[in-house]
Structure 1
Amino acid sequence: MNQYPQSNPQYGYEYNNYNSYGGGPPPPPPPPPPPPQYPPSQQQQYQPQYTQQQQQGYNPHYGQDMAEPSEPLDDKHFVFYEPHPPNYTPASKQLESARSSKPKFQDKWAAIVFLLNLALFVVLSVLFIRALPSSMFNSNGSRANDSEFYSWTTVVMLAVFIVVGFVVSICYLMLIKFVAGPILVISFWGSVLFTLGGGAYYLAVRIWFAGIILIIFGLLYALSWFFWKKYIPFSKAVLESVVGTISKFKSTMFVSLGFIIISSLFGALWTLVFAGSFPYLKKYESCTQNRDRNGRVYQSCTNAVQYVTWVYMAFSFYWIIQVISSVQHTAICGVFATRFFFPRNDYPYKSPMLSALRRSLTYSFGSICFGSLIIAVIQTIRAIARNLAHSDDNFVCQILAMCLDCILGCIEGIINYITDYAYVYVSFYGRSFIDSARSTFRMLSSTGIDAIANDSLIGNVLMLGGFFCATLCAVAAYVYVSVVKPKYNSTGSYTVPIVIIAFLIGLSISTIATTAIKSGAKATFVCVAEDHYSVAEADPDLAAALSRYYPQKFQLGNPPPYLSHLNNNDYHQLA
């Protein structure tokens, strides 16, 4: 008598002990297994097709590629997701469909307006730089001509700031790669201490309102730790996945380096153009003689042309910087889509980074200019409001300007958040900015607080890096001024402005440098929302974190046959 293995209903089969030569006929086949349990919102959608498959004699599948693997699997890193729905379409097919059709330039009007703005800025740059003192561009090997701020010493000083900011930014990216978890915790409490420290400073100088507000916000942020801490393991997995993708596609770092250089050069150029606007626009100044209450004569000068030019230069600066940063963001997001939606390295492009960059600078460039234009307009109005709040002697006008600045700051933050995710969809599918914004609203409405928590925790890491880089640049500026001792700073009147300029330069450079991580985190989150099956295949560790911390949305299925030596409990513990 032949002995057969015991029944194993787990995989839908049953063996029977009977004599194959003299025994009776085998019993009828067992009833089909119950349908897989999908989330309630999907159950009605998948049930009819599942029933149809049963009637046609097909067995339910438990994942992709059930064949025996050619090499032994590493059980410690293997993650197996719930079966694909019967009508499941991989996101890679959507990408191929969107990109195989005839390419279409989106939001062309915004791209044309941006190019016209860039041309006007170039014209002003030529006019204003030519008005600068010629001594600034002459160097005879000594510091004899550093009695003016516009000197070769100032150019060298700016170069030092840029080099320090660049080196610190790269070092911080390397640090994140090795200690992602501790940096998340340190950055959270660093933000708390920074807020409380600012409040304590304002209280010390008797600015009571600002001090109390910052202290309250700092304490509330500290209490939010009990809510945010449950998201830290998932954010850690996302951060490690992002750094892993950046390590796999090293071209993202070279592209980031290129954008750091471009943004730094533009910042230096804009500074020179702004400095040259003073001597060039002085000829449009009109002055009048007036008398005060004591009968003393004083001169009052106004220059409407200069004010209008400065407003335009501020707008142009914000728009161009936003476009530079957004092109980098969109290109990097395209690389992450390639990594997650084509997990078996069957990429449709020879160089995913170059392909994504080409699309960002051509077909999607108008969408990028459109989103950047909205933010630039708000930032320009905020700059005007801040200037009025600090310069107007009318107390009522100051209060109104401060309120306007606060309201616009909130609006800017919301629009920035939406446009960052909209650019992800622009990069993935080549849609217009409006269509991408609609997709962003749908995604955020389904993910809710998860996206905000993930962005907040990772944003703390990037903010800590930006503050660290800006602080070191400010320290380098102070050391440089103290050691070189330029003649124009003999009284020390330029020290504080130079330190502030260095701080802002370092902050700008670090912001561009950490865009790779910020872009990768947002792109990873969208990839999970679009197709978590492909993400599970591309990054098992991230999939394990998803199933562990979001079991109601991402469930592990039963093990495949070639891992049948593990029971269900052991298998689920592998994640």
Structure 2
Amino acid sequence: MNTSTQPYHNSAMEISDPSRPSPDGDDTWTKGEQQPRKFNDVAFGLLFYLHLIGMVACAGVYAPQMFTNIAANMDNDGGERELLDSSSMSGNNHGLVTSRLMSWVVGASQQIFGGLSSTSLLSNRALEEENDANDGTNDFNDLLLLLSISAIVACVISSLALTVMISHAKGMIMCSLVFNILASLVFMIGAFFVSPFGAIMGIFMVAFNAYFAYVVWGRIPFAACNLATATSAVKANLGLSFVAYSSLITMFCWSAFWLVSAVPTIYITSGCDAQAGACENEANGLVVFLLLVSFYWTYQVIQNTVHVTVAGVVGTWWYVPIEASSFCSRSIGDSYFRSLTYSFGSICLGSLIVAIVESLVTMVRNLRESGDGGSVFLCIAECLLALLRDIIEYFNSWAFTYVGVYGYSFIEAGKNVMSLFKTRGWTTIITDTLAQSVLSLVSVGVGLITGITSLIISYTHGMVFGDELGASAAAFFIGFTTGLVLTSTLLSLVSAAVNTVIVCYADAPAEFRVNHPKLSDDMHAGWAAAWPEQFR
């Protein structure tokens, strides 16, 4: 929450006495308080920066060595192929999952650094010859045109979706539930003509979606009012979209840099040589694990920085709406600054926990897929780790919301927010994910629209991406992916805002009633209808 103008915040906090029961008749609870500006969880912030320095050092030391080795053996057409084969076919148990990971990262490096690979050069030459045969229709300009139009369509439709959500959130949720049933019904009918097993799966999907709709139908008012309130807050501060889209660009740049650092590190430390077509040693499991932690940690930090920023802006909109009611409101810059400074250590701490578990999931999955034995136990381990990851991410989503609104440290925020929900009797309420399901469906829907748009443009302009079927699939995939990614990025703001709305409504309902009376009345009615026992 914006703390640049402390008098505003103090006056807002005086609206509701923490020792007084809520206007909804709940028991007393300890209200969150705006924390003084200080750096929290500093050690983890410093550790994150040290890890980035380490990745830069790996890139600086190992990348030139790998590129020199590959460039010196560019005339050996089979060297790199043999290297990949020998790595992927290795059956040494002491290699852990690293032989498969080595194959994956080297393959990824060939796509990014194709100019240094003889095999990539051959494939590029073949592609150029095919392009000449197709009168040059398959070129970069076509791809750029599809990406540009898909991006414009996605931005327009997703922006309209935000407007519709405010006044028609209930209808959108109903449509999403019905759409899931119809989509599974279409799948079932199509599966009948393919295989009996597919038909059985289709029947199961129809039954599950129908039962799910039946169970959650009574909670639609609850999800609708949360969605409408969160969307109102985001739309009032739509400059948050720049934060979201810049994070998307940052993630892409980080992924590219990580490959520049990780691939050469594994290549050189394993003693790989393009001319020999083999590696002297199996890739070190600890090195691979640390590289995976690095990738997931940074990814989580970028993602959670956006989450904390949104929580701060929505918190300001909740308490002091005058400071958070314009496209580029002051609260956006203040919240973003605090996420990158005072709360950055807390973000790094929570993100590191998820990154470690995610890395373990990846390594266990690759071990299981390598087929070296013990696949049943590895499958169980993977499921347990994935469950642990989901639990941690669930906890983090609420903890980061409290960090963004009040500025607590990560551990303190997690304890306080869970204590708040327990005291309020809302531990069941916070498990409802109906609003998030609608956001996911909207993202897929926009992706389908942009995919079809891209397909039409490709057909009308005579674009060729391989054979006729491949051209259609490629054009649709380009449009679908662009629309899905851009819409998901924008709606992730709403998802984070939904969590913030629930936290703030649990902690400060009186402030909401004063600052946003119409939305407050809708929230009260929707929550009371869906959760009459928990919401008294």
TM category (shorter chain) comes to 0.5 to 0.7
Q: In the alignment, does 2:245 pair up with 1:257?
A: yes
Superposition pairs of residues 118-133 of structure 1, within 5 angstroms: 118-125=52-59, 128=63, 131=67, 132-133=113-114
1:157 to 1:443, Cα distance in 2 relative to 1, 3 A: farther
Is residue 264–residue 509 contact of structure 1 (8 Å, CA) maintained in 2?
A: no
Q: Which range moves more in the overlay, 318-327 or 174-183?
A: 174-183
1:217 to 1:493, Cα distance in 2 relative to 1, 3 A: closer
1:110 to 1:382, Cα distance in 2 relative to 1, 3 A: same
Cα displacement (A) at 1:501: 9.5
Is residue 266–residue 288 contact of structure 2 (8 Å, CA) maintained in 1?
A: no
Cα displacement (A) at 1:404: 2.2
1:322 to 1:496, Cα distance in 2 relative to 1, 3 A: farther
Question: What letter matches 1:184 in structure 2?
Answer: I
Distance 1:89 1:301 in 2: 60
From the two aligned structures, give the one with the greater helix fraction.
2
Question: What letter matches 1:331 in structure 2?
Answer: T
Counterpart of 1:113 in structure 2 is 47
Out of 301, 309, 316, the position equivalent to 1:331 is 309
Task: Give the alignment's Cα RMSD to 1 decimal.
Answer: 4.8
Superposition pairs of residues 124-163 of structure 1, within 5 angstroms: 124-125=58-59, 128=63, 131=67, 132-134=113-115, 146=127
Out of 216, 234, 237, the position equivalent to 1:246 is 234
Cα displacement (A) at 1:436: 1.0
Out of 475, 484, 496, the position equivalent to 1:519 is 496
1:412 to 1:479, Cα distance in 2 relative to 1, 3 A: farther
Question: What letter matches 2:237 in structure 1?
Answer: F
Helix, strand or coil at the partner of 1:106 = coil
TM-score (norm 1): 0.63
Counterpart of 1:232 in structure 2 is 220
Distance 1:537 1:232 in 2: 25
1:338 to 1:214, Cα distance in 2 relative to 1, 3 A: farther
1:156 to 1:346, Cα distance in 2 relative to 1, 3 A: closer
The Cα offsets for residues 167-210 of structure 1, whole Å up to 9 and x where unpaired, read as 525632431321433221222344455667778889987695x9
Is residue 471–residue 503 contact of structure 1 (8 Å, CA) maintained in 2?
A: yes
* Unmatched tracts of structure 2, length 5 or more: 1-18, 68-112, 118-123, 131-137
The Cα offsets for residues 202-236 of structure 1, whole Å up to 9 and x where unpaired, read as 9987695x986886576344323333222212322
Q: In the alignment, does 2:373 pair up with 1:385?
A: no
Is residue 150–residue 479 contact of structure 2 (8 Å, CA) maintained in 1?
A: no
Cα displacement (A) at 1:520: 0.8
Superposition pairs of residues 537-552 of structure 1, within 5 angstroms: 537-551=514-528
Cα displacement (A) at 1:250: 2.8
Distance 2:454 2:267 in 1: 26
Cα displacement (A) at 1:534: 0.5
Is residue 107–residue 370 contact of structure 1 (8 Å, CA) maintained in 2?
A: yes
Superposition pairs of residues 10-159 of structure 1, within 5 angstroms: 94-95=33-34, 98=35, 101=36, 103-125=37-59, 128=63, 131=67, 132-134=113-115, 146=127
Distance 2:174 2:314 in 1: 25
Q: Which range moves more in the overlay, 370-379 or 398-407?
A: 398-407
Out of 423, 427, 434, the position equivalent to 1:448 is 427
Superposition pairs of residues 334-349 of structure 1, within 5 angstroms: 334-343=312-321
Bigger Rg, structure 1 or 2: 1
Counterpart of 1:188 in structure 2 is 177
Distance 1:277 1:205 in 2: 46
Distance 2:265 2:196 in 1: 36
Q: Which range moves more in the overlay, 166-175 or 127-136?
A: 127-136
Superposition pairs of residues 162-561 of structure 1, within 5 angstroms: 164=150, 168=154, 171-178=157-164, 179-192=168-181, 216=204, 219-270=207-258, 284=272, 304-305=282-283, 311-343=289-321, 351-392=330-371, 394=373, 397-445=374-422, 446-453=425-432, 456-468=433-445, 509-551=486-528
Is residue 309–residue 404 contact of structure 2 (8 Å, CA) maintained in 1?
A: yes
Cα displacement (A) at 1:311: 4.3
Helix, strand or coil at the partner of 1:431 = coil
Distance 2:25 2:372 in 1: 68
Is residue 237–residue 329 contact of structure 2 (8 Å, CA) maintained in 1?
A: no
Counterpart of 1:52 in structure 2 is none
1:467 to 1:549, Cα distance in 2 relative to 1, 3 A: closer
* Unmatched tracts of structure 1, length 5 or more: 1-44, 48-62, 64-80, 137-142, 289-298, 556-575
Question: What letter matches 2:177 in structure 1?
Answer: F
Question: What letter matches 1:117 in structure 2?
Answer: H
Cα displacement (A) at 1:123: 4.0
The Cα offsets for residues 102-139 of structure 1, whole Å up to 9 and x where unpaired, read as x2211112111211222233344555498335479xxx
Question: What letter matches 2:157 in structure 1?
Answer: C
Distance 2:478 2:378 in 1: 24
Identity %: 20
The Cα offsets for residues 420-478 of structure 1, whole Å up to 9 and x where unpaired, read as 1100111122111111111232233221222222xx11111221134345556777998
Cα displacement (A) at 1:241: 1.7
Distance 2:145 2:54 in 1: 26
Is residue 324–residue 331 contact of structure 2 (8 Å, CA) maintained in 1?
A: no
Distance 2:146 2:39 in 1: 41
Is residue 329–residue 516 contact of structure 1 (8 Å, CA) maintained in 2?
A: yes
Is residue 263–residue 321 contact of structure 1 (8 Å, CA) maintained in 2?
A: yes
Distance 2:284 2:477 in 1: 24
TM-score (norm 2): 0.67
Cα displacement (A) at 1:340: 1.1
Question: What letter matches 1:323 in structure 2?
Answer: V
Question: What letter matches 1:358 in structure 2?
Answer: F
Distance 2:494 2:278 in 1: 51
Question: What letter matches 1:120 in structure 2?
Answer: G
Question: What letter matches 1:106 in structure 2?
Answer: N
Counterpart of 1:19 in structure 2 is none
Aligned length: 445
Question: What letter matches 1:116 in structure 2?
Answer: L
Distance 2:384 2:211 in 1: 26
Distance 2:214 2:163 in 1: 26
1:393 to 1:494, Cα distance in 2 relative to 1, 3 A: farther
